[in-house]
């Protein structure tokens, strides 16, 4: 029997399909959670009040980077190249100068993607790390989302492999010294097919060590099994430079269920075949019946992992495919880990708007991805697609995340998505600037940048397993050209950038300077400006206002038409504070507009303004 999670392929045929739309749901029937829900609903503190306690005093700006790529100065870029050929960035490459450059963008969190040890084809047997099998590793460097040892860091990222954990700890300390906080990935749904922890503390029992492999499902097992059947390696029949390392076999008897909920000994090449699904007490092949009492062993093991990294100084966790793990687990684990550090943030990768509120309230997440919603709507506008319409923006804050918009993470790039400047997306980074303004000003929640975004990295080339898919590879050893220009051989001073790249980075700097310091964005309300003047369905305006500040945000996505309108300001907004000199905050230019009940706007194609009044 095969039970699959269907996934949106985003125009690529990679097995690390990230955007799952058929999601698991939990009804929390266990008596363990009845009491928890009782407390939740009778509490005098509302969900919003509870969350407000832990909110930062300025907008969170997350800068995501892969250390393997971020610090790599090598420009060889040989497809499927080895670490010796193409190089790898190290923890130590993320220097004080690099962190200062990140701070220039007004980031206050750094997400170090791929820090934890994951399966790869680079040989570290000299350091007691077993070699991974090429038949169950994607790319030569391997996917950061196929964890090989949850208590270890990636040896690729160490100058001295024996001291790899100390080098990671030094990076955490260096980051904190710069008044930046650290986020790492937490991948709860699956681990690498080769998972074995050689670095775990003595009291920790490894995943699967006590499983009864004769049972396809047991609440006491860490994995799901296909009894009496060996795992069959899938293939797409295409020869690559890695084919010489592959024999089409991987010794796994009985076969374990694959990470994207494929309960078959023969997953397809488009499945997450390099990973195995973890068992949180749900019997998927029997009506998704839940066994949460007693607590499944995977829950306690994952709690211990989270606490281990929290004690290393990690300030937050980006939780991979959070919706593929039952809400009951999050409800149980997040409060326990926050006892160690109450200021931790938990950011959930989520793609089903129907359950956003449930994952925030019951799951106790601090923030969720706003991908299916704002990102998807903005992408259509950036690409100038025929069906692009600013009504998608309105739908997000008025309906989809109404009442909890401050808990939605907004972004235009990350490791899963196409680069804005890629041929398959916009082809030019500047075409996304109105969307970036909307992303940063629509709510009080976090904003995220992906390294290289601020200098127009196009994600060009067939790097290896990643292919020429408009993305920067996460599977291969590679150099990132535009980012390397800013890196300038480790000086991190941007001196190799051209004038357009410098201007783009300065735009991001100024925008995030405005939003991180804005009381209206962090604490204010939002008013939807009615369509006026010559505004069409590719032009949008809204007002963010608080007792301390009023901002008019105008975004023109139209490729050809100038926006011309006289925007009326409602009396209730005019009354909340005294008038300020009317200023375009993105240029610091006074607009010489007399204080009054309306603001005349003239905005060229593909541009935006943030006007304080």
Q: What is the pTM of this model?
A: 0.92
Residue matched to tokens 């980012």: 483
Judged against a pLDDT cut of 70, whether residue 389 lies above it is answered with yes
Judged against a pLDDT cut of 90, whether residue 49 lies above it is answered with no
Model pLDDT for residues 103-159, shown as the tens digit of each residue: 999 999 999 999 999 999 999 999 999 999 999 999 999 999 999 999 999 999 999
Q: Find the angle CA(200)-CA(71)-CA(161) to the nearest 5 degrees.
A: 35
Compute the radius of gyration of the chain from its Cα atoms: 24
Hey, which bits of 108-215 come out as E strands? Answer: 109-112, 116-118, 147-153, 181-186, 190-192
- The CA distance from 462 to 468, in Å, is 4
Judged against a pLDDT cut of 50, whether residue 26 lies above it is answered with no
- The CA distance from 208 to 193, in Å, is 12
Predicted pLDDT of residue 93 = 98
- The CA distance from 348 to 368, in Å, is 5
- The CA distance from 187 to 196, in Å, is 15
Q: What confidence tier does 3 reach under pLDDT thresholds 50, 70, 90?
A: very low
Model pLDDT for residues 182-196, shown as the tens digit of each residue: 999 999 999 999 999
Judged against a pLDDT cut of 80, whether residue 13 lies above it is answered with no
Predicted pLDDT of residue 532 = 96
Residue matched to tokens 């499927």: 80
Model pLDDT for residues 66-76, shown as the tens digit of each residue: 999 999 999 99
Predicted pLDDT of residue 596 = 76
- Cβ atoms of 516 and 59 closer than 8 Å: yes
- The CA distance from 493 to 335, in Å, is 41
Q: Among 447-456, 457-466, 574-583, name the one with the lowest average pLDDT.
A: 574-583
Q: What confidence tier does 577 reach under pLDDT thresholds 50, 70, 90?
A: confident
Among residues 440, 418, 439, which one has the least CA distance to residue 429? Answer: 418
Judged against a pLDDT cut of 90, whether residue 295 lies above it is answered with yes
Judged against a pLDDT cut of 50, whether residue 94 lies above it is answered with yes
H helical segments located in 153-222? 164-177
Q: What confidence tier does 592 reach under pLDDT thresholds 50, 70, 90?
A: confident
Predicted pLDDT of residue 595 = 66
Q: In the predicted model, what is the mean pLDDT of residues 254-262? A: 98
- The CA distance from 278 to 281, in Å, is 9
Supply the DSSP symbol for 431: G
Predicted pLDDT of residue 56 = 55
Higher pLDDT, 355 or 25: 355
- Cβ atoms of 82 and 122 closer than 8 Å: yes
- CA distances (Å), 107 to each of 62, 64, 217, 252, 374, in order? 6, 10, 44, 44, 21
Predicted pLDDT of residue 594 = 76
Higher pLDDT, 338 or 40: 338
- The CA distance from 357 to 402, in Å, is 10
H helical segments located in 408-448? 433-441
Cβ contacts of residue 511 below 8 Å, gap of 6+? 436, 437, 440, 586, 610
Q: What confidence tier does 383 reach under pLDDT thresholds 50, 70, 90?
A: very high
Q: Among 65-79, 82-96, 571-585, name the one with the lowest average pLDDT.
A: 571-585
Q: Among 90-104, 352-366, 370-384, 570-584, name the one with the lowest average pLDDT.
A: 570-584
Predicted pLDDT of residue 4 = 37
Predicted pLDDT of residue 25 = 34
CA 512 remoteness from chain centre: 19
Question: Interhelix angle for 31-42 vs 327-338, to 10°?
Answer: 70
- Map out the domains of the chain with their CATH numbers: 61-113+153-186+370-517 (3.20.20.80), 524-612 (2.60.40.1180)
Q: In the predicted model, what is the mean pLDDT of residues 387-410? A: 97
CA 597 remoteness from chain centre: 41
Model pLDDT for residues 495-540, shown as the tens digit of each residue: 999 999 999 999 999 999 999 999 999 999 999 999 999 999 999 9
| 54-88 core/surface letters (b: 16 or more CB in 10 A; e: else) | ebeebbbbbbbbbbbbbbbebeebebbbbbeebbb
Judged against a pLDDT cut of 80, whether residue 317 lies above it is answered with yes
Please state, for a pLDDT cut of 70, what percent of the chain lies above it. 91
Judged against a pLDDT cut of 70, whether residue 235 lies above it is answered with yes
């Amino acid at each position: 029997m095969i039970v699959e999670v269907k996934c949106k392929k985003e125009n690529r045929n990679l097995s690390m399909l990230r955007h799952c739309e058929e999601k698991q749901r939990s009804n929390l029937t266990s008596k363990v959670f009845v009491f928890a829900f009782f407390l939740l609903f009778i509490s005098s503190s509302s969900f919003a009040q509870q969350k407000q306690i832990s909110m930062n005093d300025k907008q969170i700006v997350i800068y995501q980077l892969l250390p393997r790529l971020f610090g790599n100065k090598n420009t060889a870029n040989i497809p499927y190249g080895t670490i010796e050929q193409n190089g790898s960035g190290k923890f130590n490459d993320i220097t004080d100068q690099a962190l200062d450059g990140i701070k220039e963008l007004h980031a206050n969190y750094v997400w170090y993607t791929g820090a934890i040890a994951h399966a790869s084809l680079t040989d570290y047997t000299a350091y007691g790390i077993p070699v991974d099998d090429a038949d169950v590793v994607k790319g030569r460097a391997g996917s950061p989302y196929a964890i090989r040892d949850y208590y270890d860091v990636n040896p690729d990222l160490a100058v001295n492999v024996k001291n790899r954990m100390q080098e990671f700890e030094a990076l955490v300390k260096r980051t904190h010294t710069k008044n930046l906080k650290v986020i790492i990935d937490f991948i709860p749904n699956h681990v690498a097919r080769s998972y074995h922890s050689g670095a775990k503390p003595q009291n920790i029992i490894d995943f699967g060590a006590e499983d009864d492999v004769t049972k396809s499902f047991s609440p006491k097992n860490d994995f799901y099994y296909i009894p009496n059947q060996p795992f069959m390696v899938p293939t797409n029949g295409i020869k690559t430079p890695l084919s010489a390392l592959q024999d089409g076999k991987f010794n796994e008897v009985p076969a374990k269920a694959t990470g994207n909920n494929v309960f078959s000994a023969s997953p397809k090449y488009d499945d997450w075949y390099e990973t195995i699904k973890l068992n949180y007490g749900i019997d998927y092949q029997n009506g998704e019946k839940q066994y949460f009492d007693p607590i499944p062993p995977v829950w306690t093991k994952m709690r211990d992992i989270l606490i281990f990294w929290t004690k290393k100084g990690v300030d937050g966790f980006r939780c991979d495919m959070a919706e593929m793990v039952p809400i009951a687990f999050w409800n149980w684990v997040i409060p326990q880990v926050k006892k160690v550090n109450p200021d931790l943030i938990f950011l959930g990768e989520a793609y089903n708007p129907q359950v956003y509120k449930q994952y925030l309230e019951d799951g106790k997440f601090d923030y969720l991805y706003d991908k299916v919603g704002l990102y998807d709507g903005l992408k259509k506008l950036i690409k100038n697609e025929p069906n692009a319409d600013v009504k998608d923006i309105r739908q997000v804050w008025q309906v989809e995340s109404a009442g909890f918009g401050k808990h939605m993470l907004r972004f235009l790039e990350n490791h899963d998505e196409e680069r804005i400047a890629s041929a398959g997306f916009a082809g030019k980074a500047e075409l996304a600037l109105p969307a970036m303004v909307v992303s940063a000003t629509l709510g009080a929640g976090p904003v995220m940048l992906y390294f290289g975004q601020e200098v127009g990295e196009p994600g060009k080339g067939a790097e290896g397993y990643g292919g020429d898919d408009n993305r920067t590879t996460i599977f291969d050893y590679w150099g990132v050209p535009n980012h390397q220009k800013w890196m300038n051989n480790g000086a991190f001073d941007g001196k190799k950038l051209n004038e357009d790249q410098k201007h783009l980075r300065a735009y991001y700097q100024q925008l995030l300077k405005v939003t991180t310091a804005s009381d209206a964005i962090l604490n204010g309300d939002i008013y939807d400006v009615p369509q006026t003047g010559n505004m069409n369905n590719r032009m949008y305006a809204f007002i963010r206002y608080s007792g301390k500040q009023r901002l008019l945000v105008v975004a023109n996505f139209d490729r050809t038409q100038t926006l011309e309108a006289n925007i009326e300001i409602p009396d209730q907004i005019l009354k909340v504070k005294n008038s300020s000199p009317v200023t375009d905050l993105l240029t610091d230019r006074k607009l010489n507009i007399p204080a009054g009940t309306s603001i005349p706007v003239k905005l060229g194609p593909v541009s935006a303004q943030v006007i304080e009044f």
